[in-house]
Each structure stands twice: as structure tokens, then as C-alpha cells.
A = this chain, B = another copy of it.
Amino acid sequence: MYKLSACCSMTCGISFQPKMVLPSLRVQKQGNGHCTNVPRNVNLEKLQNNYLFPEISKRELNHLDKYPNARVISLGIGDTTEPIPQKISLSMANALRKAIAETFYKDVVIKDTEVFVSDGSQCDISRLQLLLGSKVTIAVQDPSFPAYIDSSVIIGQAGDYQDKTGKYQNIEYMLCGPENNFFPDLATTPRTDIIFFCSPNNPTGHAATRTQLKQLVRFARDNGSIIIFDSAYAAYITDDSPKSIFEIPGAKEVAIEISSFSKFAGFTGVRLGWTVVPEELLFSSGFPVINDFNRIVCTCFNGASNIAQAGGLACLSSEGFQAIHSVIDYYKENAKILVETFASLGLKVYGGVNAPYVWVHFPGSNSWSVFTEILEKTHIITVPGSGFGPAGAEYIRISAFGHRERIIEASRRLENLFSKREALFNFVE
């Protein structure tokens, strides 16, 4: 429900409204009145804390209570604020599948029947988990988008959460930091059935190079693994990093690709994405994965809203596509401003070139403390890196979505904060 607040950005531009108050934050009653005899799903018991973004939202709300007149800027979640490019009209789902295949996968020859239109990649992550079931083993980048791990825990693939490490048992965390050019050391990575891999990465903003992705595909082939490749930010790639895993020879036999219109076309609240399952991808028995995914999609989903699909189709027309790329350029310019701001303050900054996210290092800090101080002193919402995994503990993710004047204003406030601060790196609790 959280992202429903995205629709606010459709009506009022940037969101100054408080995010929705979640029932989970209000309901504390336990054990009063009639209890059913239905035991709670142990998988859900294992989940630690709230989902990251509602937790941010709660803190934003608390902040607004405390500072009712503050003009809060959110660089956290990244609601896209630019209007959806024009040319939206009704049309058919098959046309959208075809348009996606032709626009994004022409050179790598993906058939339209291998494209499944979804209501966003986050939803398809869960549907893929339903497809895979509880018995598979998974690996994730550390840091990474939290839905991979959380959905894995919900479906029952994970063991218990370990406070000491900040990790779930039975999940392989592949460290991706500046020390390894944000690409895991595959020589020391154990085999898993599934490898979630996001490029350009959320939160680090790093786009894996062609060489890196060749290694990844080789690794998956050698191990008989399936890569679930999240290319939601591919449109932001500036250099010659691959925009699709299917640019790598041999990938069709080992990879599924999930993607989205959300950040590509300013569709965050509109809910539209797609998943590519190549016919060549087979389970160990030789059974095609696409057959099972189609079954899941038919049973557990009923298609993206036709209105959203019509919008998606318009985005892929030549006129629409051009309009969208000017929106992407706008956000990339925002990212550049933010990168320069942090760099000028003497901080190490990553991302922002091939992605709308900027990943800022505060060595020795606790990311929630950095988050809190930035919020407290500048009224700017960021996202603490630890929400993306233990490797994000000293980082803050900054989103480049927003109106230009807000980005410039945020930069001014951040410069003001950090230039006044005695030391840059003493954010600890």
C-alpha cells in the first residue's frame, strides 16, 4: 500500500503530503477478544522489522509532526515528478508485448510471447518466488533492493535472521562495493539455484560492465543456476554497459529479466512493467520455465490495468520514446548535481552516471544516524544504506527524482549542513 502515495505526485507534483499511515503501525493489540486457532505463517514470523520504505515513511510522518511547517523534500523513495509524456490512448495488450520486444530486445531476438506484461517488477519478484517455491537456494547482491530478500523469506527459502551479521541464514549475500568494483567475487561465491542481480544496481547506481555480466552468465551456466536480472534502471545507462542480460551470449538459457516503466517513463504510480522468460530456460528436468510462469501469471494475476498498458504503448511510439528520454536526461542532470554536491564536500560518491541513484559513503558511520541528522538539520529525506543489506551500513542512498529547483535547494541545504559540521564522519549512535 505504501507506494500508493505515489499517486500524490500525479496531482500535486512533488509530494509534500504525509505518506499514508500504515495499519501495521497503529495496530498493536495482541490477545484481546476471540483468537482464531490459525497459527501465524512461520515465514512471516521470520521477517525482521517493517519493509524498509514504510519505515522511512513513518519517520517522515514523525518528522512532520515535529516540524509541521518544514518544507520537506523527499530524496528517499523517488516518486517521479515529471509528467508522463503525452500520446496515451487505449490499445491492446498484444501490441504492448510486441512493442516491448521490438523496442528493448530487437537485437537479441526476444519473441513477444516471451514478454509478460506486469504491474511492476516488484510484483513480478513475488510471482517469481511463487514460481520457484520454498526449496530453492538464492544469492543476492549486498547491498540490494530489499524485495528480493523479503520475498524470499516470505516464501520460505530463508533461515533465521542473524542479529550479529544482519543476514538471513540460507541466503548468500554477494558483497558488491567499491573494493570489488561493485561486482561479486564469483571465485568464492557458492553455487545457489537462483541469483538475483540488479543492474544498474539499486541502491549503488553501478551498472555492471559487459565483462562482468559475461562472468556472471558463465558462472550461472557452470552452476546450472538461474539469474533473475532486474533491469528496471537500464534506461539510465550512459556508457556501453549492457541494458539487458540477453545482450550476453548464452544468457537466454540461464536468465529471466524483470523490468519496469516506473522509473523509465515516470510511471511509479501507474504500475506497469514486464518480465522476459525465454523459451530456452529449462528446469533440471527439461521442463520450460515459461510454462510455469505463464500458469502463475494466469492464476495469481489478471494483467496490468489496460489504461496503464495503453500508456506504456504510447511510451514506446517514436514520439513517446523521445519524450521519455528527455525526462530521463532531466533526472540524470539532477543526479549530476547531487554527485557534484557530495563530491565537493569531500565525500566519496558512487552511482548517478548510469542510474538515478547516488550512493554516498560516510566511513565509520551508522547510516540511520546519518539519515536522522540529515533529516533533522535539513528536512531532507534520504534512504539509509543499511536498509539494503549489511554492506550498506555506512552509506546513504540519494534519489535524483524530483523537480530541478528542489534538487538545487537540497544541494544548498546539504552544503550548508556539511560545511558547518566539525567532522564529516562521526555519525554514530
CB closest residue in chain B, given A227: B36
The distance in angstroms between the C-alpha atoms of A87 and B221, with both chains bound, is 54
Q: A34-B254, A39-B285, A93-B7 are in contact. Are A133 and B156 (CB under 8 A)?
A: yes
A300 to chain B, nearest CB (A): 4
| Binary per-residue interface labels of chain A (268-306) against chain B in the complex, 1 for a CB within 8 Å, 0 otherwise | 011110000101111111111011101111111111111
User: Quick check: is A151 within 8 A (CB to CB) of the other chain?
Assistant: yes
The distance in angstroms between the C-alpha atoms of A5 and B309, with both chains bound, is 12
CB closest residue in chain B, given A123: B301
User: Quick check: is A22 within 8 A (CB to CB) of the other chain?
Assistant: yes
User: Quick check: is A10 within 8 A (CB to CB) of the other chain?
Assistant: yes
The distance in angstroms between the C-alpha atoms of A206 and B39, with both chains bound, is 32
Q: Choose among B1, B33, B130, B307 the residue that contacts A294 (Cβ–Cβ < 8 A).
A: B1
Asked whether B10 lies within 8 Å of A90 as measured between CB atoms, the reply is yes
Chain copies in the assembled complex: 2
User: Quick check: is A169 within 8 A (CB to CB) of the other chain?
Assistant: no
Q: A7-B306, A304-B271 are in contact. Are A38 and B1 (CB under 8 A)?
A: no
User: Quick check: is A108 within 8 A (CB to CB) of the other chain?
Assistant: no
User: Could you say which residues of chain B place their CB within 8 Å of the CB of A308?
Assistant: 305, 307-308
User: Could you say which residues of chain B place their CB within 8 Å of the CB of A120?
Assistant: 302
Q: A42-B133, A154-B296 are in contact. Are A21 and B93 (CB under 8 A)?
A: no
User: Could you say which residues of chain B place their CB within 8 Å of the CB of A318?
Assistant: none
- Could you list some 26 contacts between A and B, CB below 8 A? A2-B303, A7-B93, A7-B309, A11-B91, A23-B279, A23-B290, A24-B291, A30-B282, A30-B286, A30-B288, A34-B282, A36-B282, A38-B136, A39-B193, A44-B292, A44-B295, A120-B302, A122-B299, A134-B134, A134-B156, A151-B299, A154-B299, A269-B305, A270-B305, A307-B307, A307-B308
